[in-house]
Amino acid sequence: MADHATAVAHQFDDVDQQREAATLGMWVFLATEVMLFGGLLTVYTVYRYLYARGFAEGSRQLDLWLGSINTVVLITSSLTMAIGVHGAQVGRRRVLVGSLLLTIVLGAIFLSIKGIEYAHKFEEGLVPGIDFTYAGPEAPHVALFILLYFMLTGVHAIHMVIGIGAVSVVAYLGWRGRFGPSYHTPVELVGLYWHFVDIVWIFLLPLLYLLHH
């Protein structure tokens, strides 16, 4: 492929068609993501309805402080992501690369805090199926809650890892000067994905951490 920044793949007629196709593709992909998390949240909803008490008790086992810090971290990363996209649109390479790097760092902080939370769960014997020592009448339902916590946040974390990878690629390409006012679709699409992953977290926070309040 030509090294010109606005190269059009052979199946497209022009750069507009290529951009529209890529954008629509990302939206369709996000629709599949909604269904993926939707399936998991359905399971969550059914059991929360059945075992409201056990779920509230389970929610109390989570660290609201770390959850809240992570929320701030992630929202900030959405901001830096948006600034990065703007940087690409107006052709300011340093703004683009700088804010994308900041986004990566914030994403890494989020994952680290998540890792600390997971480690605590292992220490406290709150990992169903592996090391679960929680006792009490509601224990089976607490286990179910913690399991769904791991599933939901785990799938979310996988998305974060993929997101960080994608942002890194775009940041590298941006540093090489591939994006400018005439061509920045990849930055926009990665931004779209990143915001989506953030929004998922905005749903997870109240459902998991704030349940007992």
Partner 1 sequence: MWGLPLFPPQASTLAPQVDALFFFLVGVSVFFSLLIAGLIVYFAIRYHRRSEDEVTEAVHEPMALELTWTMVPFGLAMVMYVWGASVFFTAVRPPPDALDVYVVGKQWMWKFQHTEGQREINDLHVPLGRSVRLTMTSEDVIHSFFVPAFRVKQDVLPGRYTTTWFNATKPGTYHLFCAEYCGTVHSGMIGHVVVMEPTQYESWLGTGAVEGSLASAGEKLFQDLACNTCHTGDAQARGPNLRGLLGRSVALEGGGTIIADETYIRESVLDPRAKIVAGFQPIMPTYQGLVTEEQLLSLVAYLKSLAGPTS
Partner 2 sequence: MTSPAVTLAPEPQEHYLNVDYGVRSWLLTTDHKRVALLYLIGITGAFFLGGFFAVLIRLELLTPQGDLVQAETYNKLFTMHGVIMVFFFLIPSIPAVLGNFLLPLMIGARDVAFPRLNLLSWYIYMAGAAFISTVVVTGGVDTGWTFYTPYSTMSSTTHVIPTALGIFIVGFSSILTGLNFIVTIHRMRAPGLTWFRLPLFVWSLYATSLIQVLGTPVLTIVIALLGVERLLHVGIFDPALGGDPVLFQHLFWFYSHPAVYIMILPGMGVISELVTCFARKNIFGYRFVAFSSLGIAVLGFLVWGHHMFVAGQSVYAAMVFSLLSYLVAIPSAIKVFNWTATLHRGSISYQTPMLYVFGFIGLFTIGGLTGLFLACIGLDIHVTDTYFVVAHFHYIMVGGMVMAYLGGIHYWWPKITGRLYPEGISKLAALVIFLGFNLTFFPQFVLGYLGMPRRYHVYPEEFQVLNVMSTAGASILGIGYLLPMIYLVWSLWYGEIAGPNPWRATGLEWQTPSPPPRDNFTATPIVTTGPYEYSRPRGAHG
Nearest approach, Cβ of residue 137 and partner 1 (Å): 5
Q: Which residue has the tokens 């992570």?
A: 70
Both tokens assigned to 125: 């014997």
Token pair of 68 as six digits: 């809240």
138 binds partner 1 (CB under 8 A): yes
Helix axes 185-204, 15-50, angle to 10 degrees: 10
Nearer to partner 1, 137 or 206 (CB): 137
Instruction: Build a one-symbol-per-residue string for 48-87: x at contacts with partner 1 by CB under 8 A, - elsewhere.
Output: -----x----------------------------------
Beta carbon nearer to partner 1, 52 or 162: 52
Contact call for residues 58 and 149 (beta carbons, < 8 A) = yes
**Is 110 in contact with 68 (CB distance < 8 Å)?**
no
Task: Report in angstroms how near the CB of residue 48 gets to partner 1 at its nearest.
Answer: 14
The site for partner 2 (CB under 8 A) is made up of: 9-13, 17, 20-21, 24-25, 28-29, 31-33, 35-36, 38-40, 42-43, 46-47, 50-51, 128-130, 140-141, 143-144, 147, 151
Burial of 195 per CB tally in 10 Å (0-12, 13-18, 19+): middle
Nearer to partner 1, 57 or 188 (CB): 57
Separation of first and last alpha carbons in the chain: 56
Which residues contribute to the site for partner 1 (CB under 8 A)?
53, 137-138
